[in-house]
A and B are shown apart, each in its own frame.
Chain A
Amino acid sequence: MISVRGLRKHYKVHKRPPGLKAAFRSLFHRDYTTVKAVDGISFEIQPGERVGFLGPNGAGKTTTLKVLSGLLHPSEGEVRVDGHVPRHREVAYLKKIMLVMGQKQQLLWDLPPAETFELNRAVYDVPREQFKQTLDELVALLELEELIQKPSRQLSLGERMKCELAAALIHRPKVLFLDEPTIGLDVSMQVTMRSFIKAYTERHGATLILTSHYMDDVAALCPRIIVIDKGVLTYDGGLQALVQRVRPEKRVVFRLERPVEAASLASLGRVVSHEPGSAVLQVPPEAVSATISRALSSLPVTDLTVENAPLEEVMSELFAETKARRATADGEGAP
């Protein structure tokens, strides 16, 4: 469905130091620098796959999504989505895709969302019957009934995002590019959005690429993740496999009947957190059983769970690893 080969997107950016002197100097002479937003990434995505696209700020995630959706022309490389070259922006292609950006809106600000839905029906040439059916489905699933007649400017952020998503799906796109769709939403709204997106992709067999800083979004929706950092692909594979590679240790979470000494915990494993009624230990996977049986015999345990390290920590460790590797490579390359 999606094929990206050696994609590069470089920008020439005007650099100017602060100050009036530099401002005048820039009138006559400008220094430019090349920013490598995306620097030679390749991947393939199969129809119906849901892929999380992760990376720190400025990694090149959004740039890649913009290239895939035809908004940006690549500097180099070959990109194909369902047989189309996105930069050609063919009508048939634009009718198959949608890019939802959490920080940009397509809703008409002073008009109710119903007007945007109707506008999209017209521009996507959606037959009336299909439009009505899709809209009824979206209104029911996203609970929009009370919202679609209010001017968009009067909706809360969460309400607006639900309407944005509905507007994006009126034409039933086969490929969804979601860029931070849950940004700024409260926890319950995030859960609603996630379950809706999952239901939509399963029902329509749609392919999804998602970027999000909320790891729960990624964990709930994407069995596969692609990580890019400074425009370079650093991981492509299963989410569990990444956790196993970066942070294989398990977390054992204990609920305790009464407070215990820190020393009695430290003898069992690395103490991640310790509070009067609970404790979290980090232990190697092969030591989990032994640690649990020792803990059960020596601590007042009322309940316990075994978990992977939080995805945020895994990602942060991965980014730190990549940064250290890059620094080493730069050091070796220096004269």
Chain B
Amino acid sequence: MSLRNTVRAFPTLLRVGVAEALAYRAELLIWVLSTTMPFIMMALWTAVAREAPVGPYTQQGFVGYFLATFVVRQLTGAWAAWQINYEVRQGTLAMRLLRPISPLWAYAAENLGAVPMRTLVAVPVAVLSVLVVGEQAVPREWWGWPLLLVALLGSWLITFLANVCIGAMSLFMESSRHVMDVWLVLFFVLSGYMFPVKVLPAWMATLVDWLPFRYQISLPVEVMTGVRTLPETLMLLGRQWIWVLLLGTLAVTLWRRGLRRFAAYGG
């Protein structure tokens, strides 16, 4: 589909995505419950910081960090890898491929369609964070707000495109769900989801800076909690969007090559 037609069709795809998210509200609630890890980590790390701060984080710092982590995770989640795996195995991807628009746009719209519902969960937590930790819960400089939106968009794109890359692998191997499991383990450990990257040893923090995971959670959380200067933020955003471009190129390449092998199983 031409870009113009895709842009014209996308609002309808999004609207249908939102309608589907509303239809699956029970499932969404269960997903939200499964993302409460930041609250558990918050309890753990605030206990550790009772005696003395851990790195730059006091008890209150950890509270602000993990509440922001919860909010970022809600707003930037994607599950296209599971969808693609399922549809490749069942052959139902065929029905998407018959339409004159790339299924990747449809997956994007369906994944983004859940954001309004998740915002309903995220906003009260963000308000709670402001009440508990005060101004440290939100950007303190004016530039922090637009850059937070850029960071959240970049984070969603990395998550979604990594999902597409891994999902597209199922077109080469019979199932890539276990690849997704490996990705998730790395994500939990290296993204800042379970602990801030700033508490890592310097050599490891440097390594993490060059991997995509910290741009999924840690960067938006850092921008939200205002712990970075403008030059630092811009540099990290630059790296984040380099990952967006790399993963975008890889996703499109894997997808196109994989489709040549698509067997469209089943009647």
A-B contact count (CB 8 A): 84
User: In the bound complex, do residue B260 and residue A71 qualify as a contact, i.e. CB atoms below 8 Å apart?
Assistant: no
Complex Cα distance A105/B98, Å?
Answer: 12
State which residues 1-58 of B face A: CB under 8 Å: 1-2, 5, 8-9, 11-13, 16, 19-20, 23-24
User: In the bound complex, do residue B12 and residue A119 qualify as a contact, i.e. CB atoms below 8 Å apart?
Assistant: yes
Complex Cα distance A91/B13, Å?
Answer: 17
Across the interface, which residues of B come within 8 angstroms of A27, CB to CB?
A: none
State which residues 136-166 of A face B: CB under 8 Å: 151
Across the interface, which residues of B come within 8 angstroms of A115, CB to CB?
A: 16, 19
Complex Cα distance A62/B8, Å?
Answer: 33
How far, in Å, is B101 (CB) from chain A's closest CB? 5
Does residue B86 face the partner (Cβ distance < 8 Å to A)? no
User: In the bound complex, do residue A72 and residue B100 qualify as a contact, i.e. CB atoms below 8 Å apart?
Assistant: no
Does residue B131 face the partner (Cβ distance < 8 Å to A)? no
Does residue B248 face the partner (Cβ distance < 8 Å to A)? no
Does residue B262 face the partner (Cβ distance < 8 Å to A)? yes
Which listed residue (A11, A110, A123) contacts B100, Cβ 8 A? A123
Given contacts A69-B98, A95-B100, contact A123 B264 (CB under 8 A): no
How far, in Å, is B112 (CB) from chain A's closest CB? 15
User: In the bound complex, do residue B266 and residue A104 qualify as a contact, i.e. CB atoms below 8 Å apart?
Assistant: yes
Given contacts A66-B264, A111-B20, contact A104 B95 (CB under 8 A): yes
Across the interface, which residues of A come within 8 angstroms of B11, CB to CB?
A: 122
User: In the bound complex, do residue B9 and residue A71 qualify as a contact, i.e. CB atoms below 8 Å apart?
Assistant: no
Max chain A Cβ within 10 angstroms of own Cβ: one of B23, B98, B263: B98
Q: Can you list, as one digit per residue, whether each of A72-110 has a CB less than 8 Å from chain B (1) or not (0)?
A: 110000000000000001010011011101111110101
User: In the bound complex, do residue A122 and residue B91 qualify as a contact, i.e. CB atoms below 8 Å apart?
Assistant: no
Does residue A229 face the partner (Cβ distance < 8 Å to B)? no
User: In the bound complex, do residue B12 and residue A71 qualify as a contact, i.e. CB atoms below 8 Å apart?
Assistant: no
Which listed residue (B1, B12, B19, B266) contacts A111, Cβ 8 A? B19
Which residue of chain A has its CB nearest to the CB of B6?
Answer: A123
Across the interface, which residues of A come within 8 angstroms of B94, CB to CB?
A: 66, 71, 99, 101, 104
Complex Cα distance A104/B20, Å?
Answer: 19
Does residue B211 face the partner (Cβ distance < 8 Å to A)? no
Which listed residue (A73, A94, A125, A180) contacts B98, Cβ 8 A? A94
Across the interface, which residues of B come within 8 angstroms of A69, CB to CB?
A: 98
How far, in Å, is B116 (CB) from chain A's closest CB? 16
Given contacts A102-B267, A108-B20, A110-B23, contact A91 B2 (CB under 8 A): yes
Q: Can you list, as one digit per residue, whether each of A109-135 has a CB less than 8 Å from chain B (1) or not (0)?
A: 011000100111111110000000000
Which residue of chain A has its CB nearest to the CB of B93?
Answer: A71
Across the interface, which residues of B come within 8 angstroms of A179, CB to CB?
A: 267
User: In the bound complex, do residue B16 and residue A119 qualify as a contact, i.e. CB atoms below 8 Å apart?
Assistant: yes
How far, in Å, is A82 (CB) from chain B's closest CB? 15
User: In the bound complex, do residue A72 and residue B1 qualify as a contact, i.e. CB atoms below 8 Å apart?
Assistant: no
Across the interface, which residues of B come within 8 angstroms of A118, CB to CB?
A: 12, 16
Does residue B178 face the partner (Cβ distance < 8 Å to A)? no
Across the interface, which residues of B come within 8 angstroms of A73, CB to CB?
A: 260
Which residue of chain A has its CB nearest to the CB of B10?
Answer: A122
Complex Cα distance A97/B98, Å?
Answer: 8
Given contacts A101-B267, A104-B92, contact A71 B100 (CB under 8 A): no
Across the interface, which residues of A come within 8 angstroms of B267, CB to CB?
A: 62, 101-104, 179-180
User: In the bound complex, do residue B262 and residue A72 qualify as a contact, i.e. CB atoms below 8 Å apart?
Assistant: yes
User: In the bound complex, do residue A122 and residue B20 qualify as a contact, i.e. CB atoms below 8 Å apart?
Assistant: no
Complex Cα distance A180/B266, Å?
Answer: 13
User: In the bound complex, do residue A122 and residue B9 qualify as a contact, i.e. CB atoms below 8 Å apart?
Assistant: yes
Which listed residue (B5, B19, B97) contacts A71, Cβ 8 A? B97
User: In the bound complex, do residue B266 and residue A89 qualify as a contact, i.e. CB atoms below 8 Å apart?
Assistant: no
How far, in Å, is B50 (CB) from chain A's closest CB? 47
User: In the bound complex, do residue B99 and residue A94 qualify as a contact, i.e. CB atoms below 8 Å apart?
Assistant: yes
Across the interface, which residues of B come within 8 angstroms of A103, CB to CB?
A: 266-267
Complex Cα distance A96/B9, Å?
Answer: 18
User: In the bound complex, do residue B99 and residue A110 qualify as a contact, i.e. CB atoms below 8 Å apart?
Assistant: no
Complex Cα distance A122/B98, Å?
Answer: 14
User: In the bound complex, do residue A71 and residue B266 qualify as a contact, i.e. CB atoms below 8 Å apart?
Assistant: no
Across the interface, which residues of B come within 8 angstroms of A125, CB to CB?
A: 1, 5, 8-9, 100
User: In the bound complex, do residue B9 and residue A72 qualify as a contact, i.e. CB atoms below 8 Å apart?
Assistant: no
User: In the bound complex, do residue B20 and residue A110 qualify as a contact, i.e. CB atoms below 8 Å apart?
Assistant: yes
User: In the bound complex, do residue A123 and residue B9 qualify as a contact, i.e. CB atoms below 8 Å apart?
Assistant: yes
Which residue of chain A has its CB nearest to the CB of B174?
Answer: A14
User: In the bound complex, do residue A72 and residue B98 qualify as a contact, i.e. CB atoms below 8 Å apart?
Assistant: no
Complex Cα distance A98/B264, Å?
Answer: 15
Which listed residue (B2, B16, B99, B101) contacts A108, Cβ 8 A? B16
Across the interface, which residues of B come within 8 angstroms of A62, CB to CB?
A: 267
State which residues 48-66 of A face B: CB under 8 Å: 62, 66
Complex Cα distance A89/B259, Å?
Answer: 11
27 A-B residue pairings within 8 Å (CB atoms):
A62-B267, A66-B264, A70-B97, A71-B94, A73-B260, A91-B1, A91-B5, A99-B94, A99-B98, A101-B95, A104-B91, A104-B92, A106-B95, A108-B16, A110-B24, A111-B23, A115-B19, A119-B13, A119-B16, A123-B1, A123-B9, A123-B99, A123-B101, A124-B99, A125-B8, A151-B23, A180-B267
The 3 A-B pairs at the shortest CB distance, nearest first, are namely A122-B12, A103-B267, A110-B23
Interface residues of B, Cβ cutoff 8 Å to A: 1-2, 5, 8-9, 11-13, 16, 19-20, 23-24, 91-92, 94-95, 97-101, 260, 262-264, 266-267
